[in-house]
Structure 1
């Protein structure tokens, strides 16, 4: 008897890759997760892998050039690069191989699959797909024409999971609301005393504050609310004025960062898109419920970010100006942000 006592999910009437729909959209229709669709697939196109995160990450360099895709509900971030310069420290991983720049939270790497989808007379579309315990995508690594196919096959064979039992997917518990017991004055003092931007997340943990709540605690003049269309405005102006930016998109298990210039920015329905060689961003402007300009102190002067949040108060994306380490942020970035429509 299976330990998974959840009600049986309806099966797709045809193989998932023949529906003409993205796996994520098909999962929404069927009332399940993307990983469940892969897990139920009986053909050779999907191979379950043992999710051994540190070993798996370190083996990805053998694939050579790939496209890494990290997303959340409202944003999709795609970068072409290689998994070089990997460092693992316990549950944390780091990939610093520009243009590929990743922060990995390996305790959320729970399910993994190797996928090889037929593509008519073309070469199969191959990918490695990592999911959290609920079956939501953490990162997908898509092979490119110059990727090493033999390395993909060797990785698939090395990590293949021979256990035939259906995997168990556990829904995420409801997110905690804002804490009502925060010492707001102490939090603001600690933020004001920061020397480095990387001190901010430890301060959130220290005070039991989530990122969205921190903005309410910091308040004006360090936090200013932006009007509708902030994502479109910032990308369009960065492209028009050729201001180099940093764009962060993440989820529980991965944050993916782009640094550089954007050039081709196009709106398509509710999506605002960056369609550049080596970097694509697709962001649902209609799912951005709140947008803010946020300034945090560092020893090099205040750093300015633009932060986008969904209706669930989860962070969708962050934008900074590109800067050299140890140098203040560029005036061009400050001017771009100052020109954004405020509320």
Structure 2
């Protein structure tokens, strides 16, 4: 996305939009103005650019007390309330464990801002992180239970006073898929059967140069099958009725955020299906689900099953599992729930 307005003009255009009475979320307002979300945040009153010291910044998040962590993509928003655990991992890939459970891919992080906005009779404070395309990878919102002193100390320490001018890049169209006839299907299927950990799956798709959608189509017989786009609604409602704890993964280029535990209040609203629970909210556009698949992968702990939701370009909107820890077998109730979903296509290879 290319900004056609200078900072002053963009700020004026945004203020005119607000004055018109339009009630748009920050992301939607940026789209309406023809700029990236990061470009809009950069000119907003109350915005302060932060240093791109990702491990330094996130390494302090456990001091902030109770906050709300938000990760989203084009079709899903994942909100989790709690306290960050200590940052682990490396400068390339980090993670936090606990209530706020994250897998962080720092190579896609580009810039960050602390933002203070009016909200009701008070203020809303947030930390917002963006990739090179100006798209949000992660946001953190202060709450009543946050440590406001630690928050301000973090902002003061990491404020960027002399950083280079930000240069955003347009999103590049995804490369085309490998032609089906060029794929070593037998080798790929054997590699699938030889998996011992779900984290090996990404490496398997790269080794055989298959897209996610091709991987699901070319899986060994009995390891994947398509289900209806209403599968998410069925799974969430059934999990709530049976008090079945699940895991909900939502991510983008720079972050994956995970909820582990039960879900209770499932509410539709227009095209959105929502989980509205204390401590966890999920908002997902059901009309963006182009394909839904049940997927089974072998591991050292036995078969692990998931529901994968893909968009029209074959990208992952969200993935759901039964709640489990490494070393534990899959919940029988979760596997049974997936088996109850009506199948649309048993195997499309």
Q: Tell me which interval the TM-score lies in, with the shorter structure as reference length.
A: over 0.9
* Contact 1:54-1:88 within 8 A present in 2 as well: no
Corresponding residue of 1:153:
152
CA offset at residue 213 of structure 1?
A: 2.1
* Structure-2 change in CA distance of 1:5 and 1:313 (3 Å): closer
Write the deviation string for residues 16-70 of structure 1: whole angstroms up to 9, x where unpaired. Answer: 77753200111121122110101123x3x10011221111110212211111000
Match of 1:20 among 12, 19, 23: 23
Write the deviation string for residues 229-260 of structure 1: whole angstroms up to 9, x where unpaired. Answer: 11111111111111111110000000001111
SS at match of 2:281: strand
Write the deviation string for residues 177-217 of structure 1: whole angstroms up to 9, x where unpaired. Answer: 22234322211111111112222122223222332221122
Unaligned stretches of 5+ residues in structure 2: 345-349
- TM superposition score normalised by structure 2: 0.91
Backbone CA RMSD of aligned residues? 2.0
Corresponding residue of 1:330:
331
Corresponding residue of 2:174:
175
2:142 is the alignment partner of 1:143: yes
- TM superposition score normalised by structure 1: 0.93
Match of 1:8 among 1, 5, 8: 5
* Contact 1:16-1:23 within 8 A present in 2 as well: no
SS at match of 2:85: coil
SS at match of 1:170: coil
CA offset at residue 8 of structure 1?
A: 3.1
SS at match of 2:58: helix
Show structure 1 runs of 4+ deviating over 6 A.
15-18
> For 1:115-264, what aligned pairs fall within 5 Å after superposition?
115-122=115-122, 124-163=123-162, 166-180=165-179, 181-218=182-219, 220-264=221-265
> For 1:244-323, what aligned pairs fall within 5 Å after superposition?
244-323=245-324
SS at match of 1:337: helix
For residues 3 and 229 of structure 2, what CA distance do their matches in structure 1 show? 40
For residues 272 and 2 of structure 2, what CA distance do their matches in structure 1 show? 38
For residues 164 and 53 of structure 2, what CA distance do their matches in structure 1 show? 18
Comparing 129-138 with 113-122, greater Cα deviation is found at: 113-122
Match of 1:35 among 15, 38, 45: 38
* Contact 1:229-1:285 within 8 A present in 2 as well: yes
For residues 2 and 334 of structure 2, what CA distance do their matches in structure 1 show? 53
For residues 314 and 269 of structure 1, what CA distance do their matches in structure 2 show? 23
CA offset at residue 166 of structure 1?
A: 4.6
Unaligned stretches of 5+ residues in structure 1: none
* Structure-2 change in CA distance of 1:6 and 1:282 (3 Å): closer
* Contact 1:70-1:138 within 8 A present in 2 as well: yes
Tell me how many residue pairs correspond in the alignment.
336
For residues 13 and 94 of structure 1, what CA distance do their matches in structure 2 show? 35
CA offset at residue 112 of structure 1?
A: 0.1
* Structure-2 change in CA distance of 1:243 and 1:160 (3 Å): same
CA offset at residue 5 of structure 1?
A: 8.2
SS at match of 2:94: strand
